[in-house]
Structure 1
Amino acid sequence: MSELVTGEAVALELRPARLPSRALAVLLDLAVAVLAYLLVSIVLVFTTASWDEAARTAVSVATFVLVLVGAPIAVETLSHGRSLGKLAFGLRVVRDDGGPIRFRHALVRGVIGVIEILVTFGVVACIASLVSARGRRLGDVFAGTLVVRERVPAARVGFVPPPPPWLAGRFSGLDLSAVPDGLWLAVRQYLARMQQLDPQVGWAMAERLATDLAARTGTPVPPGVPPAAYLAGVLQERQAREVRRVYGSGPAVGATRHSGGGPTVGGSPHSNHSAHSGHAARSGGADHSGRSGYSGRGEVPSASGDRPATGFVPPA
């Protein structure tokens, strides 16, 4: 399975294609391209019979480039990485981050593919695919792409509880640029499965992940914040930033509504932060002796009717 991770810290269920399936897909594409080239060449022989030798040579070279190089590039661009051969074998070309390819990706793959596949009869492409951990040929390496299998059963993604409202705005100033994708994925997997863990084991895992995350951000975990709640708050902050980066400055996913104001992006009306912190401190529902910072039932009754239950217990 691939290690592609999206901005929401979700591992993409993409399986890199193996060399046999890729080779069969390329052979099918080449067979179709060569057949089209032969048909076009036969038509040109009759239509350019009265032309001089130089004109016929120029037309032949242009036909070769357009049919065997330009056509595959256009097909991959318009189909977002699915040529006829790849469609037949359930393959697709995607970017390194799992997104659909564009013209520049298909152009680099096509130009380098002329040397890898046509000139060397696929020898260079086979060697590069065997050496690469994810089966990429040189065209994929330079284009930043990956050929994956599309026909893979979809896996169910566990529910990740949102952070508690009393953490609103606490992590809006963190520098998350140094946090690797592997750590984001580990945090998300822990939050999705912490209800299934033994309380002592879950608390220890949360502390270790929180320590690693705080070291990467350069800011220690706020005092009195359970590690599981800290992880959920920072993860939601990252998701909110990703949404703002993609869709602009509109409302972000995961916004929470506070009793004193409107919806907040990543939980950030700073004017209500102290009020909610004081309310959390007076709620008396803290359980620092609890070993996971998370209720065993998966949710905690809301102290006020307009705040959703998150499953996290506020600190004392």
Structure 2
Amino acid sequence: MTRLVTGEAVALDLRVARLGSRGCALLLDLFFQMMILNLVLYVVAMTTLIADEAWSVGLSILAVAAVLVGYPCAFETLSRGRTLGKLAVGLRVVADDGGPIRFRQALVRGLAGMVEFFMLYGAPALLTSLFNRQGKRLGDVFAGTVVIQERMPHSALHGPVAVMPPQLAGWGRTLEVSMLSDELAMTARQYLSRFWELRPEIRDRLGARIAGQVRAVVSPPPPPGVRPEVYISAVLAERRRREEWRLAQRHAARMRRLGRTWPPAAQPVPAMAVAGGPPAPAMAPGPPAPPPFSDPGPGQPRFLPPPDYGAGPYQGVIPPGPWRHGP
């Protein structure tokens, strides 16, 4: 994952394409280019029947340059960053701010690709991709673009990575998360996304270390008995909720400047839990619940996380519940 910042200062988390997937897309594009080039050269060769040899050589050079440079330039401009190979693998070329690629950027990538792949056999592209954090080749560096993974794996469609457990919702609204850096939040998010891929001992040790780093910059501390992964999930969910609230506030202010009403129907806004933070969501009245993760005494039931997170409909994500009573 990489974080791109748009022109409106909105951070986007995008999955940068891996070297293997880009190599597969490149091989497919080279196959299509060779097919088109052979067809064009066959048509050019037929001109020798009506023109001299110099005219045919000039047309051949023009055809080679047009196919090798024009193929990626035309496809990436018309299809908004996708060639036939990238379309098959699920990749897309975007600008550094996450916007669609322009003709100028596609032309720079095509000219640089001709030098990188056809003159220097791909060595500069390979070396640059290995040492660049976003996997950019020289053409991407010159054009200001990045290749992202557009087709997400099926495991990423189960739901959000970080969720707020119901028992921690009240505590979460009192959190101070302004000191939580984007790098630490990304590390915690990657840990939750790979939670079920890790071995139990490594998962617990890594979760305790990341939870300690988060606890050092986030206050107040969690209630006693909260597992590290549940604590990390609650902090990230509250941070995401506040960011969405700020975006909604900016959108509402923009609508008001345009003379429109936002939201369309006026509704009472609940009191804010923290000064400068988003309003607490309205909760439907219901029977009082015991305090989360509290120890009422010996022999009394207490709230505990389920022993097997991987069972049931929550397999693959950190579940918000159902939380059950344990002995």
Aligned to 2:116: 116
Q: TM-score by structure 1 length?
A: 0.56
Look up the match of 1:33: 33
1:255/1:127 CA distance change after superposition, 3 Å? farther
CA-to-aligned-CA distance 1:44-63 (integer Å, 9 cap, x gap): 11223442333222211111
2:250 counterpart of 1:238: yes
In 2: Cα distance, 1:129 partner to 1:231 partner: 32
| TM-aligned CA deviation for residue 204 of structure 1 | 4.1
1:203 to 164, 169, 174: 174
Distance 1:235 1:31 in 2: 45
The answer to whether the 8 Å contact 2:125/2:137 transfers is yes
Corresponding residue for 1:168? none
Return the alpha-carbon distance in structure 2 between the equivalents of residues 60 and 21 of structure 1: 32
Specify the alignment match of 1:78 in structure 2: 78
Residue 95 of structure 2 is matched in structure 1 by 95
Contact 2:96 2:144 in 1 (8 A): yes
Residue ranges of structure 2 left out of the alignment (5+ in a row): 181-238, 285-327
Residues 8, 238 of structure 1: 8 Å contact kept? no
Residue aligning to 1:184: none
CA contact (8 A) 1:194 1:202 kept: no
CA contact (8 A) 1:203 1:293 kept: no
Take 1:240 and 1:8, find their aligned partners in 2: how far apart are those partners? 17
Cα pair 2:174 2:273 within 8 Å, conserved: no
Quote the Cα distance in structure 2 between the aligned partners of 1:31 and 1:293.
Answer: 53
The separation in 1 between residues aligned to 2:246 and 2:141, in whole angstroms, is 33
Aligned partners of 1:294, 1:9: CA distance in 2, in Å?
A: 21
Q: Does 1:299 align with 2:282?
A: yes
Match of 1:217 in 2: none
3-state secondary structure, aligned to 1:48: helix
Distance (whole Å) between structure 2 residues aligned to residue 130 and residue 99 of structure 1: 24
Q: 1:129 to 1:234 in 2, by over 3 A?
A: same
SS of 2:147's equivalent in the other structure is: strand
Q: Distance in 2 between matches of 1:9 and 1:196?
A: 31
Give the CA deviation at 1:95: 2.0
1:199-254, Cα deviation, whole Å (9 max, x unpaired): 55642415758xxxxxxxxxxxxxxxxxx99988754443446x66xxx9363765
- In structure 1, C-alpha distance between the alignment counterparts of 2:249 and 2:41, rounded to whole Å: 59
**TM-score, scaled to structure 2:** 0.55
Give the corresponding residue for 1:11. 12
Q: Any conservation in 2 of the 1:95–1:144 contact (CA below 8 Å)?
A: yes
Q: CA RMSD in A?
A: 4.0
Is 1:251 equivalent to 2:263 in the alignment?
Answer: no
Q: Are 1:134 and 2:134 counterparts? A: yes
SS at match of 1:146: strand
CA contact (8 A) 2:272 2:279 kept: no
Aligned ranges for residues 59-74 of structure 1 at < 5 Å? 59-74=59-74
How far does residue 36 in structure 1 lie from its aligned partner after superposition?
Answer: 1.4
The residue that corresponds to 1:151 in the other structure is 151
Q: 1:126 to 1:286 in 2, by over 3 A?
A: closer
Judging changes above 3 Å, is the alpha-carbon distance between structure 1 residues 100 and 235 closer, same or farther for their aligned structure 2 residues?
Answer: closer
Q: Does structure 1 retain, via aligned residues, the 8 Å contact 2:69–2:107?
A: no
Cα pair 1:236 1:254 within 8 Å, conserved: no
Partner deviation per Cα, 1:89-140 (whole Å, 9 max, x = no partner): 1211122232322222211111111111111111111111111111111111
Aligned residue for 1:112, secondary structure, equals helix
**Amino acid in the other structure paired with 1:144:** G
Matches within 5 A, 1:185-196: none
Distance 1:198 1:253, change over 3 A: closer
Stretches of structure 1 lacking an aligned partner (at least 5 in a row):
159-188, 210-227, 260-275, 302-316
Paired-residue identity, %:
40
C-alpha displacement of 1:11: 3.5
Q: How far apart, in 2, do the equivalents of 1:50 and 1:293 lie?
A: 76
C-alpha distance in 2 between matches for 1:100 and 1:287: 39
The question of whether the paired residues in 1 share the 8 Å contact of 2:246 and 2:278 is answered with no
Cα deviation, 1:180-199, whole Å, max 9, x if unaligned, reads xxxxxxxxx9xx85976465
Q: Figure out how many residues of one structure are paired with residues of the other and give that number.
A: 219
